[in-house]
Amino acid sequence: MHEISVIRTIVSTLKEKYEGNFDKITKVEIEAGLLSNIQPVLIQNAFEALRLELPELMELELEVKVLPIIARCNKCNENFEVKYHRFICPCGEPTKEVIQGDELQISKVEFIKT
C-alpha cells in the first residue's frame, strides 16, 4: 500500500515547508491525476491510519481532488479529455502528449484564521 508512504511524504513536506506553523494547518488539499495511480478512498484511509500514529494530525483535514487526463493532439492542436484511457483525439488522431493527469501535488494549505 503505497498510499501510506504518500501521506507520510505529504506530512513531511508540510512540516519542512511550514516549520513552526505546522500546528496551525487546518486543511490540506492535494490534486491527483488519474494517471498518478492514487485512489482517493485509499489515501483517506491511509491518512486516518496515520492519525492514530501521529496525534498532531487529529485536527487536520485532507481533501483529495482527482484531475482528469487531458491530452493534446499534434494534428489539430486541440486539448481533449481522455476517456477510458483512449488517447485518440475527436479528430481521429492518436496522441501520447499528456497535458494533465499524471500529477500528484499539494495544491492548497489552509491555516487557523486569527
- What pLDDT, on the 0 to 100 scale, is given for residue 22? 94
CATH code assigned to 3-68+100-111: 3.30.2320.80
How far is 36 from 26, CA to CA, in rounded Å? 25
Domain regions of the chain by residue span: 3-68+100-111
State the average pLDDT over residues 8-19. Answer: 95
Give the three cell numbers for residue 111. 491555516
Q: Which residues contact 3 (CB under 8 A, 6 or more apart)?
A: 38, 39, 42, 43, 45, 46
- What pLDDT, on the 0 to 100 scale, is given for residue 113? 82
pLDDT digits (tens, 9 = 90+) for 47-61: 999 999 999 999 999
